[in-house]
Structure 1
Amino acid sequence: MIQINNRYVTFPQLESQMMLSEFERNILLQMINSQAIYSYSSMNELNFELQMRQNITEAAKLLNNSDASFATFRYSRANPRYWSTESNGALRLLPGVKPSVAINDIFINGSEYGFECATGMVIVLYKAVMQSLGEERFNYLFQNLYLWAWQYDKDLNLITTRRFDYFPGDILYFDNPDVDPSTPQWQGENVVYMGNGLYFGHGVGIKPREGMIEELNSFRYPGSMRSAFLLEQATRPDYKKLYQYTLMYSPQYM
């Protein structure tokens, strides 16, 4: 169900007032049919979330098509023009480098980068935020980027909740409880839900649910009878908070 300014709205009402892509239309239908209540202050705020969800899936496709490789923290690497690689495997933005330039470089010169799947999810989200807010606002808000697992800037403000419904653009997690101790990096896989039953995981690619589970199951310890599975939870950026930044004309007003 969807509320706009504390009033429930129907799909025909929304469709008649919004210019929707097929991707956005499908999400809107899922939200309307959900038992959960999705509340927005305005049509524009709802539209921002829909567009950013599309930007998240597009960023996931770009990362999948880049040459950025999967690497454990020990073997993390990055383009030294923009990032320093720290002893714990974190990537820290170099002084004087624009955040937008450094994030875009991951997608352009991916062969110079290696990182694990949680870092990949945060990179995808930063790229989507940049596309949604524009480079000027992005550079103002995310000046001290630090890429390491689920470390992220406070303005991204990720929210993880237990739930049964999720939509394209959500970050989900496949758990592998019986992972072989010799390959602990495969204890699970963070993924972007792409829609149409497909998921993107850095290092695994874009696969249906069965493909993700099969990949993780290949790293179970011998004799295991427990399969990998998709957790009933979703991680999302704070769309409402990010939308507020679109109301600022310029970073000088922030």
Structure 2
Amino acid sequence: MNTISSVFERNGLLTAFVVVGALVLISGWLSQKLTHGRLQGSAIAIILGLALAFWGGKVTGADHGLADFAVLSGLGLMGGSMLRDFAIVSTAYGVDLREIKRAGLAGALSIVLGVVVSFVIGAAIAAAFGYTDAKSMTTIGAGAATYIVGPVTGTAIGASSEVIALSVAAGLVKSVVVMVGTPLIAPLIGLNNPKSAMAFGGLLGTTSGVAGGLAATDERLVPYGAMTATFYTGMGCLLCPSVLYVALRAIVGG
């Protein structure tokens, strides 16, 4: 056992990929067997991941969840800012600006409105819970856009780690709600064609949530919703730590 533990510790990042891969496989199996695909495997994986992180923190009495176990220390690197920012840059390189023309004016407006409305709601909720300084409100507001935009914004403007963690939590809740709720509301809002899927992805923006929700609704709509949702993430990373932060700072000060 000591030899095995030593191998895991020396290859922490590889171990982290294996653990996350196994969690994704289990989540996919649970999705098919228990919900017949209604609840996407990615949503189950997020819930299980949060539960395991909470358990790990409780058992070790530390602050980094499962990464506080020596054999799983690679999870701290895998979930850190370096690979997060690498993933964002990789996503940006895969975006073709010509594709946004397919969404038309409605798709373009939905992206801007989606970011701004989510930001305003998130910032207002942050203020209601006592986070009234501009950095905290901006970071949590950005997290309400997506769980990627939140930490990117918080890191850029110098928010505390506690606030950045809250922004990630806000984005994860939004992602899960969108995954679960999309199949339920799709018939009510006419979410049954590529153009509506583009507008939907632009308004909500959480790529994993939109893709998972559309997959449970109609798999043919996934590429359209995911396309505008990807642009939404990029737009959020541009607007939240710059224009929206400056505007909010002018309103609340500090």
> What range describes the TM-score normalised by the shorter chain of this pair?
under 0.3
Which structure: greater strand fraction?
1
TM-score (norm 1): 0.25
TM-score (norm 2): 0.25
Which structure: greater helix fraction?
2
